[in-house]
Structure 1
Amino acid sequence: MKHRKVLALTAALAGFALVATGCSSGSNGGSGGGSDDSGKKTLPTSAQINEQPVSDLQDGGTLRLPISQWITQWNYNQVDGALVDASTIEQATMPFIYVIDGKGAPQLDTDYVSKAEATSDDPLTIEYEINPKAKWNDGSPITWKDFENEWKALNGSNQDYLVGSTTGYEDIASVTKGSSDQDVKVVFDKPFSDWKSLFSPLYPASQTGTPEQFNEAYKGKVPLSSGPYKVSKLDETAGTVTIVPDENWWGEKPKLDQVIFRSLDGNADVDAYLNKEIDSVLTTTSERFDRVKDAKDSKIYASTSAQYTHVDFSSKGILKDKQLRLAIQHAVNREALAQVIGGTLPYKLGTLDNHIFLSTDDGYQANTDPNGTFDVEKAKKILDDDGWKTDGQYRKKGGETLSLSITIPSGATASQKLSEVMQQQLKDVGIELKLKSVAVDDFFEQYVTPGNYDMTIFVWGGTGFHSGGASIYQTGDTGQNYGRIGDESIDKLIAQAIAEPDTDKANAIWNKVDTQVWAIGHSMPITAKPALVAQNPKLANYGAFAGAQNIDWTKVGFTK
């Protein structure tokens, strides 16, 4: 699946994950299922979004929501653009050909495409019929040229397009016009089982038709959009993004007058919520949850999210040595890290032992043995065999002290706590870990994306398709593998999984991928995060969404 970057663990801990397949449809239920022996609840797998019929909502109103950082790139497909906060807003302002429902399944959005079907299996051919009403908000129609342009930008043939992922697009042989400008014929040169993941979001050819346009046209601005809302104001000084109903929208009209997204660092969003300055806030750490759980005029919603927290390694510095990465995987007690994240939350958080699947996914299995198990003695032996000998508090080799750093954004209190725990765990095997705090707005662009770190912590957000996350583990200098750690055997397995139409067979291959990812010391998943949301009780059809479920912005509003 595609994955979206989430700001490293601010106190509003978000996480990386795959869509939680098997989620049930959205509900308006209570806070969860049964309890385990510790008295903690198990998370519900259905959405809790105060689901209400649109007829029961007010006309108008201003919804105020937090975002975790200022968004500089509004082209989601550009390497700096795949942020969860940006995607949340883009779901209201850009075309998504398929959206993920509350059960984790893709559904065609007929506001944009009236029909999409595979008309041939050999070669795989998909034909799209664009809704004749579909248009960009300057009045120009959405046509096959927009599909063709997106394919050309994202297929990897021109490295000047700085793309987040080429998965799927690189398997397309041609995108051509059908019987009219609203008919699109996509022919693949090899099978791609997740074809429903493509062209979402879709961008206009008029704005992204050259590498310069692709990389720059949506940087700090949104020149053209298509959705129930449009971006009316980007105020970097105030840190606010304002969207308002788009008068050119042809579908169901949205209920709100405007939505204002406000960039708030650290715990500032909780402060703002308690001061009634925003209407909803993510509360996925015990520190934050404890502050809001008894707030007046507030309700807590819970579900299983499509995000997980992980530790990422980079091969640019000392961790280019695979043996060091493997030693760290054995030295770090991920169970202890999960408990740090879970703290006193009323929900139990276990470790996530798979890079590809969440524990709620049908294909999930633990693949940590033999390379991802917590085993201090094994970590020490790997370091000994690698020439790092005990010499005082920290190991040395050739006069060099075994010292590395973990890069986190300033104000990310949960990231700092996790880093401090790992600092002690690594010290126990003779590795020095230094904490490096950097500016929040520089974290991805200057450090994560170029791989300028030894270790770091951030969160991935899934969009419902396994294949879109493939570039996280593939070799090469582009895509989402920021640490540049991979090997050709993984590349080959990923190609097999992507081309396999049988789900059970594909899941088996994906688990082989995961086993190899552990074996090369690529990264360490910690735990999938719950979606725990405190919000204004009058806010409807918004809250704790299940898995990678998309927001239907035409239904979000306040009850009468």
Structure 2
Amino acid sequence: MRRWSRFITAVLLTIACVTGCGAAVDSGAVKTEGASLNPQPRENLEDGGSLTTAITEVSPQWNTFHADASAYTLSLWRWYNPVLAYFSPDGRYSPNPDYLTGVRTETVGRNTVVTYTINPKAFFNDGTPIDYRAFVETWRTSRGVDDRYIVSSTDGYSQIASVTRGVDDREVIVRFDGVYAWPDGLFNVVLHPKATSPEVYNEGYVRQPHPEWGAGPYTVSSYDADNGTVVFERNPKWWGRPGKLDRRIFRQMESQAALNAFQNGEIDATGVAAKDARARVLTMNGIDIRTAASPQQALLVLNLDAPILSDRVVREAVFAAIDRQTLARIRFTGLNYTEELPGSLSLYPFQPGYEDNLAGVVSYDPGKAAALLEEAGWREGGDGIREKNGKRLSLVLPNVGDDATGANLSRALQAILGKVGVDLVVQQRPSSDFSAVVVNKEFDLFMMGFSSSDPFGMAYFCQVWCSDSQFNPAGAGTPQLDAQIRAMTRIGDPMAQIAAGNKVEREAFAQYSNLPLFNGPAMVAVKEDLANYGAGQFYVGPIEDIGWEK
């Protein structure tokens, strides 16, 4: 798995990319080919300065391997923990030479074998060598054998037969059980061996970032859990090239507060992939709007544990009633951007092998929706809202954050469902409640997103659809579907696995639990002299090279 490859995020996905992610000045027409990062060599950058951005949530759970982690957890994790691999904007893998001096993948017999050679300079901040033991413990805790570990997913790691020491402690031999299609998605971050008891793994990182177990160009300087502020400064124990920035600061803020702070010069970048936000920053001087295709998926999730939605016919009716085209138009108003409606939660339309797996399963048909609700026994009441056995067809949709587009989407969905007799109650929640809404399932319907940090989407199919996955807030899945997913993930040829996965996803969509809404562009407004940062698609690069031009 790369369990963190699919991270749950707030639906509008306007958070700025944090690991290098921006460089043409916005000209009105949105272009999403490649990345927009203002790439600059180190010699063009100042030594010093700070970079401050908003973050939707500083999650209490700092362990990025844990089921309660989110995209925001990973964003912070990468600033003070080992990042063993880089990815180009289009998703090409390369090892980070500060940690890995070699990665060799081969097929031995009928099994994939990957040999990692670790840089002898690599140490955790507490002096522990980064060696084969970190790989062993990362695999052991993530493979899904010991249910004391609350891991978000076991994808990929569950297919490893062994992780062993090679010719010395700095060589690691990873042997898979069979041919594995996506080895580049594994061991791109690793866990410190001291963090791998079940107690520490599950609870030890709660409101405790443990910088002593990290490594890299930066380390945690301060963390204010109450105010949601994290400050990183250069790590004196780092063996590689020093970070260009003196400090990197994250501040937990609502969308409107972040936009105000950017306009006031209090923060240096903010997501602006919404009409009002983009319009406001277009009037500013000295900024770029950096735009790229977005490896993010917004979707509507139904809670199958909710009594009304436990009825599959009702869920089908809800999805048939939803006009996705209208929701997408609201989402992209003012962005000069359009896209085809997405049909997969595994791949993006710009990736090889993508198919519209929703077609033929769900289509907008309010007449059918009304008929299905009648079939399920829900009769229209005097006020137009359906009733059954004295109970109104009322469902709760939390709207997280104060973004205007999010509010508009919620109101539109309320009106759309009202036309077929569903009373949708929109419940306003602060951004800081995001994890609570998802983890505690405090919703009937919820608009949220998945953010992918690598291109191997089919490898993480189980995260979305397996019945026991922590990334399946809908609670969908069956033993039969789980078995099909397991069989699909055993296919060693990548394109053959994608073809099989497309067929399985069509069956998964027929549960009427997850409805793709839109993908959209990533748009990040930044001060124009900021380099090696912005909208990067799948980009993961050296954080030590983020900085300000001379």
Gaps of 5+ in 2: none
Q: How does 1:240-255 map to 2 (within 5 A)?
A: 240-255=229-244
Match of 1:158 among 146, 152, 169: 146
Q: Is structure 2 residue 503 aligned with structure 1 residue 515? A: no
Give 3-state SS (helix, strand or coil) of 2:284's partner.
coil
Please say if residues 474 and 487 of structure 1, whose CA atoms lie closer than 8 Å, have aligned partners that are also in contact.
no
Per-residue CA distance 1:513-538 (angstroms, 9 max, x = gap): 32122211121111112111111111
Match of 2:411 among 397, 420, 427: 420
Code of the residue aligned with 1:194 in structure 2: it is W
* Structure 1 pair 217–304 and aligned structure 2 pair: CA distance change class (3 A): same
Please say if residues 15 and 56 of structure 2, whose CA atoms lie closer than 8 Å, have aligned partners that are also in contact.
no
Per-residue CA distance 1:87-123 (angstroms, 9 max, x = gap): 2232232223332212212222222122222342523
Alpha-carbon separation, structure 2, partners of 1:346 and 1:239 = 34
**What do you get for the CA RMSD once the two structures are aligned?**
2.3
1:222 Cα offset (Å): 2.2
Alpha-carbon separation, structure 2, partners of 1:165 and 1:159 = 12
Per-residue CA distance 1:39-88 (angstroms, 9 max, x = gap): x845322111111111011111111111112231111010112x222322
* Structure 1 pair 467–503 and aligned structure 2 pair: CA distance change class (3 A): closer
Alpha-carbon separation, structure 2, partners of 1:51 and 1:241 = 26
Q: Is structure 2 residue 85 aligned with structure 1 residue 95? A: no
Match of 1:8 among 7, 10, 15: 10
Please say if residues 233 and 247 of structure 2, whose CA atoms lie closer than 8 Å, have aligned partners that are also in contact.
yes
Match of 2:285 among 278, 286, 296: 296
Alpha-carbon separation, structure 2, partners of 1:103 and 1:371 = 30
Alpha-carbon separation, structure 1, partners of 2:103 and 2:430 = 44
Match of 2:114 among 116, 126, 134: 126
For these two proteins, the number of residue pairs brought into alignment is 540
Please say if residues 332 and 338 of structure 2, whose CA atoms lie closer than 8 Å, have aligned partners that are also in contact.
yes
Alpha-carbon separation, structure 1, partners of 2:21 and 2:345 = 26
Please say if residues 56 and 252 of structure 2, whose CA atoms lie closer than 8 Å, have aligned partners that are also in contact.
yes
Which residue matches 2:431?
440
Q: How does 1:477-556 map to 2 (within 5 A)?
A: 477-545=468-536, 547-556=537-546
Give 3-state SS (helix, strand or coil) of 1:381's partner.
helix
1:270 Cα offset (Å): 0.5
Alpha-carbon separation, structure 2, partners of 1:30 and 1:337 = 28
Q: Is structure 2 residue 261 aligned with structure 1 residue 267? A: no
Q: How does 1:391-406 map to 2 (within 5 A)?
A: 391-392=381-382, 393-406=384-397
1:226 Cα offset (Å): 1.0
Per-residue CA distance 1:437-471 (angstroms, 9 max, x = gap): 23432331x32123332111112100212145323
Gaps of 5+ in 1: 17-24, 33-39
Alpha-carbon separation, structure 1, partners of 2:404 and 2:359 = 31
Alpha-carbon separation, structure 2, partners of 1:235 and 1:469 = 33
* 265-274 or 108-117, larger mean C-alpha shift: 108-117
* Structure 1 pair 15–415 and aligned structure 2 pair: CA distance change class (3 A): farther
Alpha-carbon separation, structure 1, partners of 2:285 and 2:259 = 14
Q: Percent identity?
A: 28
Please say if residues 404 and 454 of structure 1, whose CA atoms lie closer than 8 Å, have aligned partners that are also in contact.
yes
Alpha-carbon separation, structure 2, partners of 1:421 and 1:220 = 37
* 530-539 or 491-500, larger mean C-alpha shift: 491-500
Per-residue CA distance 1:227-247 (angstroms, 9 max, x = gap): 111111102244211111111
Which residue matches 1:170?
158
Alpha-carbon separation, structure 2, partners of 1:353 and 1:135 = 44
Which residue matches 1:321?
311
1:344 Cα offset (Å): 1.1
Alpha-carbon separation, structure 2, partners of 1:26 and 1:152 = 31
Please say if residues 58 and 72 of structure 2, whose CA atoms lie closer than 8 Å, have aligned partners that are also in contact.
no
Q: Is structure 2 residue 345 aligned with structure 1 residue 355? A: yes
* Structure 1 pair 269–6 and aligned structure 2 pair: CA distance change class (3 A): farther
1:292 Cα offset (Å): 0.5
Code of the residue aligned with 2:42 in structure 1: it is V
Q: How does 1:216-227 map to 2 (within 5 A)?
A: 216-223=203-210, 224-227=213-216
* Structure 1 pair 461–7 and aligned structure 2 pair: CA distance change class (3 A): closer
1:262 Cα offset (Å): 1.0
Which residue matches 2:272?
283
Per-residue CA distance 1:494-531 (angstroms, 9 max, x = gap): 32442323333222112113212221112111111211
Q: Is structure 2 residue 98 aligned with structure 1 residue 107? A: no
Alpha-carbon separation, structure 1, partners of 2:480 and 2:166 = 39
Please say if residues 146 and 203 of structure 1, whose CA atoms lie closer than 8 Å, have aligned partners that are also in contact.
yes
Please say if residues 234 and 241 of structure 1, whose CA atoms lie closer than 8 Å, have aligned partners that are also in contact.
yes
Q: Is structure 2 residue 442 aligned with structure 1 residue 452? A: yes
1:221 Cα offset (Å): 2.1
Q: TM-score, normalised by structure 2?
A: 0.93
Give 3-state SS (helix, strand or coil) of 2:190's partner.
coil
Match of 1:305 among 282, 294, 318: 294
Please say if residues 37 and 532 of structure 2, whose CA atoms lie closer than 8 Å, have aligned partners that are also in contact.
yes
Code of the residue aligned with 2:60 in structure 1: it is T
Code of the residue aligned with 2:423 in structure 1: it is E
Which residue matches 1:145?
133
Match of 2:172 among 184, 201, 204: 184
